[in-house]
Structure formats: structure tokens, C-alpha cells
Amino acid sequence: MPKNFSSLYLHIPFCIKKCNYCGFYSLPYREERVKLFISAILKEIELTRNLPHLIKTIYIGGGTPSCLPVKYLEIILQTLLKNYKIDKDIEFTIEVNPGTITQEKINLFKSYGINRISIGAQSFLDSELKILGRIHNVKDIIKTAHIIKNSGIENISVDLIYGIPKQTLDNFKFSLKAATSLEIKHISIYELTIERGTPMEKNLKNGKINLLNDDAIEQMYLFASEFLDEKGFYKYEISNFARQNYESLHNIAYWQRMAYLGLGPAAFSYLNGWRFYNPGNISLYFKYLSKNKLPWIREYEIKGIEELKEKIILGLRMKQGITLDSLCLINFFEELEKLKLTRINGNKVSLTDKGMLLSNEIFAKVLLHIENCSVCKQV
């Protein structure tokens, strides 16, 4: 584990309106609360600026970072660049919601060195955006992509969701075609998950919506994998597809278990083999920083069996897979190879397309195996 961190995540925990499916930590935008957040995040930057680092990737996510007005975005960007040592070839990403984008904001991003923008499009059908409870429509997505492209930022990523209630395979094909026609470099596709306490969970319970069946989900994922490959986007991770050399370096750093620093409420960090969690409660987050203390409420070392589990679960998300020393685990994955879920080459293991589709089930099985295996426990 390197002593220096090279990736930084900054969480902006505000949204204009909560989407029907959202389980992320985000709060409604309120001016007073946002002012307090800006003071707190500046303090957190000040308290972490002397940790050893050379930053190669920054990711500003949320919530909806682009819902902040220009004056606050500028303070954050200025302070980040002034306080940390930044590599000259940095990948600098911000997430944007198409309902909150203006030319002025994109100009600001460009002027502060942001060179990658991830658009939370989710669908190119207004009817599906409505089911998801998004604040934007399809016209907003197209306008956002054009403003970004015209600004000279060419590294654009689009997020799509599949498995939306009432979505057909043709609907999803339509969104994939519309997204790839925007000359983007990267696309992420996520299966809709129903999070606890969300309006969607409530609607599901009272029968107002129905989930798609497993066959429909499988068809969508397999179609997307094939279609995107034909369009020149190769799958480098379960949900992520990129044109050559446009993979998300920030996310790869997570999957490869590089050290990173997380700022903002609910963010977590991985430093020197330890994981640190910021509170997912903004008042508590403010309280720590108002006392000049880092808001690390929970911390624990990832070592031994926990490190082995992480290495496998995170590494297998990537197309390239992992290299294993343990014969016992190789034997375990050989059983899955018979079911065409894994590919084994010497001591290298990776998931097939079918394995990626069933990755959650496979990960659960691996964890159970490691927990119960006396050989694995000895690492």
C-alpha cells in the first residue's frame, strides 16, 4: 500500500430534488446549509493538505455537484488547486445533472482544468426519466452534451440505467443508440436497484410498479455489451465501457485498491491500508470540522482475510481480472469455469460476460468460501 494518496473524491451532498430510486447521501439544496458546507469542506481541505500525496485523479461527485451556483463551485475548485500537489496529467472529473447545466458552469470547469465530465443522463426517453423522478428531460441531456463538446472538453461519459419499470429491450436499445450518437468517450450502465426507504420501494410494495424479470435484465445487459463493443466501446469493468485510452482512471484506482482521500459527508478514504469513514450526517460532519478535527468517525485496517476478500471482489469487477497465489481459490474458480462464469489462464482469473451478469451471486459465494475455508483463513 503506497504511503502517498494519488486520488481524491469530493462529495457534494445536495440535489434539487431527490430521485425516486436514490439511496445516495444527498439533501435538498438550502442556501444556509450550503454556506455551512462550503466552510466545512474548505476546513477539511486545510486539514488534509499536508498528508503525503501527488494527485493524479480528482472526482467531484454527489449528490449533484452541478446544482451549486458558480460562486461556490469556484471557491471549491480554487481551494483544491491551491492546497494540493496536482500531477500535470491529472484526470479531473465532475458529475453533472443535465437539469442544472449552464454555459457559465462549463466554462468555469474548463478554466479550472476539469477535463472529464460525467453526465447523469440515465435514459433518453422522457417517460422513463419521469418514472425515475429525474429533474431533467431528453432535450436537457442533448443540450448539455453540446455545451460540453463546444467548450473543448472531449472526454464525456454518460450514465444509463436499465431495468426501469416498464422498460422494454427496444427502449433500452434506443437510449444506448442515442447516447453513443453524442460522440462520447465512455458509458456506464447500471441496473436499477431498489433502495430501502425510497419512493420506488414504496410503489413496489403497494403494487404501483413492477420490476422486470431476470431474463429481461439479462437480455439488456448482454445486448449492451455486444452493441457497445460494435460501436468501439470496450468493456473494462462490469458496468463500464470506454473507447481506447478513455477508461476512468479514478475508478480504476478504487478497483486496484490504490490510496485515496474522500472529502465531504459520507465520503470514505483508504490510506496506508486503513479505511476511514466520514459521517453520513451533515450536522455531525459540521461539528467535527468546526472543532478543527478531521471527521473520521470509523476507521479500521484492511489486512489478512479482509484484504484477500477486497482484492478478489474489487479485482474481479475488471475485465482483466486478478492473479491468485492460492491454489485453493484457483480450484474454487475452476468449478465456476465449468459453468462458463470464469476464465482461468494459469493463475489469472477473470469473469466471462455471463459471470459479470451474475457477479453479485459469484461474489457472495467467494466470500462464503473464504470465511469457511481453513486454507484461505491462513493468509
Q: Is 321 near ligand SF4 (CB under 6 A)?
A: no
Residue with cell 460562486: 71
Distances (CA, A) of 79 to 35, 67, 83, 85, 193: 15, 19, 6, 12, 36
Helical (H) or strand (E) element with 122: strand 116-122
- CA distance linking residue 104 with residue 212, whole number of Å: 40
Question: What residue type is assigned to position 208 of the chain?
Answer: K
C-alpha cell of residue 158: 454518460
At its nearest, how many Å lie between ligand SF4 and the CB of residue 231?
A: 26
Of 18-26, 86-94, 165-173, 281-289, the window that binds ligand SF4 (rule: CB under 6 A) is: 18-26
At its nearest, how many Å lie between ligand SF4 and the CB of residue 120?
A: 6
- CA distance linking residue 354 with residue 313, whole number of Å: 16
* Residue 286 neighbours by CB distance under 10 Å: 19
Of 12-20, 109-117, 193-201, 211-219, the window that binds ligand SF4 (rule: CB under 6 A) is: 12-20
Q: Find the binder of ligand SF4 among 7, 26, 118, 157 (CB under 6 A).
A: 26
At its nearest, how many Å lie between ligand SF4 and the CB of residue 64?
A: 5
Residue with cell 492546497: 83
Q: Which is nearer to ligand SF4, 197 or 207 (CB)?
A: 197
Q: How far is CA 66 from the centre of its chain?
A: 16
CA atoms within 13 A on the CB side of 232: 9
Q: Which is nearer to ligand SF4, 113 or 133 (CB)?
A: 133
Count of residues in the chain = 379
At its nearest, how many Å lie between ligand SF4 and the CB of residue 265?
A: 13
- CA distance linking residue 167 with residue 171, whole number of Å: 6
User: Contact letters (x/-) for ligand SF4, 61-100, by CB under 6 A?
Assistant: -xxx--------------------------------x---
Q: Is 190 near ligand SF4 (CB under 6 A)?
A: no
Q: Which is nearer to ligand SF4, 24 or 227 (CB)?
A: 24
Q: Find the binder of ligand SF4 among 10, 12, 15, 164 (CB under 6 A).
A: 15
Q: Find the binder of ligand SF4 among 10, 22, 114, 129 (CB under 6 A).
A: 22
Is residue 264 within 8 A of residue 71, CB to CB? The reply is no
DSSP bridge partners of 160? 122, 189
Distances (CA, A) of 158 to 95, 270, 323: 10, 27, 31
DSSP annotation of 349: E
Q: Find the binder of ligand SF4 among 4, 18, 47, 257 (CB under 6 A).
A: 18
Q: Which is nearer to ligand SF4, 21 or 286 (CB)?
A: 21
Q: Which is nearer to ligand SF4, 16 or 51 (CB)?
A: 16
Q: Is 227 near ligand SF4 (CB under 6 A)?
A: no
Q: Is 19 near ligand SF4 (CB under 6 A)?
A: yes
Q: Which is nearer to ligand SF4, 24 or 234 (CB)?
A: 24
Residue with cell 470496450: 234
C-alpha cell of residue 300: 479500521
Of 59-67, 219-227, 283-291, 314-322, the window that binds ligand SF4 (rule: CB under 6 A) is: 59-67
Question: What residue type is assigned to position 121 of the chain?
Answer: A
At its nearest, how many Å lie between ligand SF4 and the CB of residue 99?
A: 9
Residues of this chain that interact with ligand SF4 (CB under 6 A) are: 15, 18-19, 22, 24, 26, 62-64, 97, 120
